[in-house]
Chain A
Amino acid sequence: MKYHSLGEFEELVLLMVAAFHDEAYGVLILENLEEKLSKKVNISAVHVALKRMEEKGFVKSRFGGITEDRGGRRKRFYVITALGKRVLDSQFELRTGIYNQIPKISFGR
């Protein structure tokens, strides 16, 4: 299961890729993550996660068209793969499964 391992930050990025299906690219993921997490995220961290997951086969990518404000450089759009989706699902099931086992605990306030 080595290749199916998924780190915490990677999972967040993968969720973002899945959420912005076919529209996700570095800056967009970064800004949405910052917004959701309410903290500064470094763009290089996003790229490292994306590249690792592409290597593991969780996402795949394609180039977009040339745009003016990127110095003539194309965007690379990421899409989640079936494997990526399965990993997300199992991760989700694992967590909710364990979560549901939590007995009712009362933390008296």
Chain B
Amino acid sequence: MKDQPPKNSLRFLRWFCREDYIEELEGDLTELFHRQYNQSPARARLQFTRNVTRYFRPGFIKNFRSNYHPNSIAMFRNYLKAGWRNLTMRKLFSAINITGLSFSVAFCLLLFFYIRHEQSYDTFHVNKDRIFRLEMSNMFPSPDAAKKKSLFSFLNKSDNEKNQLVFPEVVAANMQQTFPEIKNIVRFKDQGEQSLKINNQVYREKHVVLADSNFFTCFSFPLIKGHAATALRSTANVVVSKSLARKYFGNEEAIGKTIALVNHKDQVLMIRNPTWDNDFTKRVRERLNQFEASHPSIVAVSGMNGGLDGSYNTNGFMLNGEQKWLRQLAVDYNYFEMLGLKFVQGRPFSKDIQADTSRTQRPSIVNETLFRMLGKDAQLGVYNDAIRSTIIGVVKDYNFESLSKKIEPQQHVLTTKYEQYFMVKIRAGDIQPTIASLQKEWKQITGDYPFDYKFLDDSIAKLYEADIRWQNIMQSSCFFAIFIACLGLFGLSAINAVNRTKEIGIRKVLGATVKDIVGDLSRSFVLMFIIAIIISTPLAYWLMNEWLQNFAYRIDLSWWIFVIVGAIALSVALLTVSFQAIRAAIANPVNSLVTANDFGIINKVYSEFFPENAPARSVPQVMTFPGGILISVECIALV
């Protein structure tokens, strides 16, 4: 339509003009436009545009800065203000609520992040839904395999009833033949810590893993360089992580470099022997013995196979037609003396007795458990057919595993040639310098081999890692539980005290002491507490028993433990409650007695103080006593 005002000007007006003005202005301008249009359309259009620009001034331009709904901001601001005033009005309850809430939120977040972390790794494998880990159960049933499963078994990592992950070599090929559904089998062996030779230097690396050639096609570990299909095609190939490549080769190209796996099977400072070489071991021993003689800070040197940290050989033997297992440790002459082990019968290995190295006699020292197990056939100095060995000594049972394990039948044989570990007992106070000079000596004897040692007490502490972790978790959870319970109790008692303020005031007027009132206020909580104890004690007893089942050596749960814990909890609860009660009890009753409208409460307390023959009393309800007196009670009693 031709007789419409210019569109662009109109749009401009609508864009900048205040919303409460636009209707009037647009209407007036349009009306004017129509009137002029009849005379001259062009002029009318020009005039319209010119008029529009005249409105482009502060009074008519809308406020672009604040948004279109200024009311909603005011509303939220008002909410915040009202909320804040509510919080500050009752500071105590606000503090209780906020603290409790923040603790719970913190705990929820902790749990959330923990679970998310647990679910976050290994999710990048393309075939993750189709990859399964094989486990094997009871290939070697060990004596405590029959141990009953309890609620807390998950704590014992190396439990024998757990499935095994180590398979005989033949299983893989056999599985693939038997089950055509299996597309691929990847064998995988964590060698643990190994020695690597790079550029003629020997280093120790914590994780050396052997894997089949299809490892990288089955798992989707992204290769930065090289091809997944061919990376492990030959046994001469090795794939390293980015960080390892950087560590040894820096910014050089790692592909094509040589990393040699140093040929060694394995090795109260335990120094790891780096090789199986007999001559080498003998040489090291001699040097260490010389070193011991020349250093007064070294008390003793001993060697052994397997470690006190739990690695040992498990050997089977037949006893009266039954399969039995024993743990075999290869030790040297000094072992028993160094660790201070006591003998029940017989003697330790001795350098002076030729027969101790006899290959036909095969002398050994057993522990009490094995000696008892062998029964009356076992005699000192007599060749025992069952364990095919001559028992020359019986050592008192000692534990070299976590106390959650029972002491196993144990046999010690003599080794003078190969030793996996050398143990050095160092006098207290000289530890660091002695280790330093040992290291120097070690370098001289062995050349490139790394000096790798650990403290025996550290190794033993490792055995309890799971238990200590559990202890920490329990401690912090207990703290939070008690804290939140106390918060709740505190809040409850505060509400109780507030609700009964007037009653307390009247009681005080009638002569109740602070002690009476505190007792009165705390009584109901003590009752609640007793009920809680009755419920929780059997529950705690049951749970603790379940947990203790994991330990071969355990304490008994006596009744006094529960009494002490209950008493501590009760005193914590009473302390919490009495804080409020005392505060209410010492308050001036005048402040709590406001009007004579509280007549109902007065009657209740009055009848309590005078169960029968209550004295006649008058409570004048006068709105304005002089001097701020709120209530006056007049009693007439027979004295």
Q: Which residues of A does B touch, CB under 8 Å?
A: 25-27, 30, 42-44, 47-48, 51-52, 63, 69-71, 73-76
CB < 8 Å: which of B24, B26, B59 contacts A71?
B26
A42 to B55, CA, bound (A): 11
Q: A42-B54, A69-B34 are in contact. Are A47 and B25 (CB under 8 A)?
A: yes
| B-chain residues with CB within 8 Å of residue A75 when the two chains form the complex | 24, 27-28
Name the CB-closest residue of A to B53: A44
Answer yes or no: B30 CB below 8 A from chain A CBs.
yes
Q: A27-B32, A42-B51 are in contact. Are A73 and B27 (CB under 8 A)?
A: yes
Asked if B30 and A43 make an inter-chain contact with CB atoms under 8 angstroms apart, the answer reads no
CB < 8 Å: which of A27, A44, A51, A73 contacts B54?
A44
Asked if A51 and B21 make an inter-chain contact with CB atoms under 8 angstroms apart, the answer reads yes
CB < 8 Å: which of B31, B57, B59 contacts A70?
B31
Name the distance in Å between A20's Cβ and chain B's nearest Cβ.
15
CB < 8 Å: which of B26, B27, B59 contacts A51?
B59
A42 to B170, CA, bound (A): 104
Name the distance in Å between B480's Cβ and chain A's nearest Cβ.
61
Asked if B51 and A70 make an inter-chain contact with CB atoms under 8 angstroms apart, the answer reads no
In residues 50-76 of chain B, which contact A (Cβ within 8 Å)? 51, 54-55, 57, 59-60
| A-chain residues with CB within 8 Å of residue B25 when the two chains form the complex | 26, 47
A73 to B21, CA, bound (A): 11
Answer yes or no: B29 CB below 8 A from chain A CBs.
yes
Asked if A73 and B23 make an inter-chain contact with CB atoms under 8 angstroms apart, the answer reads yes
Asked if A47 and B30 make an inter-chain contact with CB atoms under 8 angstroms apart, the answer reads no
Name the distance in Å between A88's Cβ and chain B's nearest Cβ.
23
Q: A42-B51, A43-B51, A71-B5 are in contact. Are A27 and B28 (CB under 8 A)?
A: yes
| A-chain residues with CB within 8 Å of residue B55 when the two chains form the complex | 44, 47
Asked if A73 and B51 make an inter-chain contact with CB atoms under 8 angstroms apart, the answer reads no
In residues 1-29 of chain B, which contact A (Cβ within 8 Å)? 4-5, 21, 23-29
| B-chain residues with CB within 8 Å of residue A27 when the two chains form the complex | 28, 31-32, 35
Question: Most chain-B Cβ atoms within 10 A of its Cβ — which of A26, A30, A63?
Answer: A26
| A-chain residues with CB within 8 Å of residue B28 when the two chains form the complex | 25-27, 30, 43, 47, 70, 75
A75 to B31, CA, bound (A): 10
A15 to B218, CA, bound (A): 94
| A-chain residues with CB within 8 Å of residue B32 when the two chains form the complex | 27, 30, 43
A42 to B51, CA, bound (A): 8
A-B pairs, top 10 by smallest CB distance, nearest first, are A73-B27, A26-B28, A44-B54, A76-B24, A70-B27, A71-B30, A27-B31, A70-B31, A70-B30, A73-B26
Asked if A26 and B51 make an inter-chain contact with CB atoms under 8 angstroms apart, the answer reads no
Given contacts A30-B32, A73-B24, 14 further A-B contacts (CB under 8 A): A26-B24, A26-B25, A26-B27, A27-B31, A44-B51, A44-B55, A47-B55, A51-B21, A51-B59, A70-B31, A71-B4, A71-B5, A73-B27, A73-B30
Name the distance in Å between B551's Cβ and chain A's nearest Cβ.
87
| A-chain residues with CB within 8 Å of residue B27 when the two chains form the complex | 26, 70-71, 73-76
The 27 sampled A-B contact pairs (Cβ below 8 Å) are: A25-B24, A26-B24, A27-B28, A27-B32, A27-B35, A30-B28, A42-B54, A43-B28, A43-B51, A44-B54, A47-B21, A47-B55, A51-B21, A51-B59, A51-B60, A69-B30, A70-B28, A70-B30, A71-B5, A71-B26, A71-B27, A73-B23, A73-B27, A74-B23, A74-B24, A75-B28, A76-B23
A69 to B59, CA, bound (A): 27
A3 to B51, CA, bound (A): 28
Name the distance in Å between B6's Cβ and chain A's nearest Cβ.
13
Interface string of B375-393 (1 = CB under 8 A from A): 0000000000000000000
Name the distance in Å between B116's Cβ and chain A's nearest Cβ.
59
Name the CB-closest residue of B to A71: B30
Question: Most chain-A Cβ atoms within 10 A of its Cβ — which of B31, B55, B59, B60?
Answer: B31
Name the CB-closest residue of B to A48: B59
Name the distance in Å between A74's Cβ and chain B's nearest Cβ.
6
A82 to B284, CA, bound (A): 117
Name the distance in Å between A77's Cβ and chain B's nearest Cβ.
10
Name the CB-closest residue of B to A45: B54
| B-chain residues with CB within 8 Å of residue A51 when the two chains form the complex | 21, 59-60
A30 to B33, CA, bound (A): 13
A25 to B51, CA, bound (A): 17
| B-chain residues with CB within 8 Å of residue A74 when the two chains form the complex | 23-24, 27
| B-chain residues with CB within 8 Å of residue A71 when the two chains form the complex | 4-5, 26-27, 30
Name the distance in Å between A25's Cβ and chain B's nearest Cβ.
7
A63 to B31, CA, bound (A): 16
Interface string of B29-46 (1 = CB under 8 A from A): 111101100000000000
Name the CB-closest residue of A to B25: A47
Name the distance in Å between A24's Cβ and chain B's nearest Cβ.
12
Name the distance in Å between B19's Cβ and chain A's nearest Cβ.
13
Name the distance in Å between B16's Cβ and chain A's nearest Cβ.
13
Name the CB-closest residue of A to B35: A27
A63 to B35, CA, bound (A): 21
A74 to B24, CA, bound (A): 7
Name the CB-closest residue of B to A75: B27
Name the distance in Å between B51's Cβ and chain A's nearest Cβ.
6
A91 to B24, CA, bound (A): 29
A74 to B25, CA, bound (A): 10
Name the distance in Å between B34's Cβ and chain A's nearest Cβ.
5
Name the CB-closest residue of B to A51: B59
Asked if B29 and A43 make an inter-chain contact with CB atoms under 8 angstroms apart, the answer reads yes
| B-chain residues with CB within 8 Å of residue A70 when the two chains form the complex | 27-28, 30-31
Name the CB-closest residue of A to B26: A73
A74 to B51, CA, bound (A): 19
| B-chain residues with CB within 8 Å of residue A73 when the two chains form the complex | 23-24, 26-27, 30
| B-chain residues with CB within 8 Å of residue A42 when the two chains form the complex | 51, 54
| A-chain residues with CB within 8 Å of residue B29 when the two chains form the complex | 43
Question: Most chain-A Cβ atoms within 10 A of its Cβ — which of B5, B23, B24, B51?
Answer: B24
A26 to B23, CA, bound (A): 12
A55 to B55, CA, bound (A): 17
Asked if A69 and B31 make an inter-chain contact with CB atoms under 8 angstroms apart, the answer reads yes
A48 to B57, CA, bound (A): 10
| A-chain residues with CB within 8 Å of residue B57 when the two chains form the complex | 48
Name the distance in Å between A41's Cβ and chain B's nearest Cβ.
11
Name the distance in Å between A58's Cβ and chain B's nearest Cβ.
16
Interface string of B342-355 (1 = CB under 8 A from A): 00000000000000
| B-chain residues with CB within 8 Å of residue A47 when the two chains form the complex | 21, 24-25, 28, 55, 60
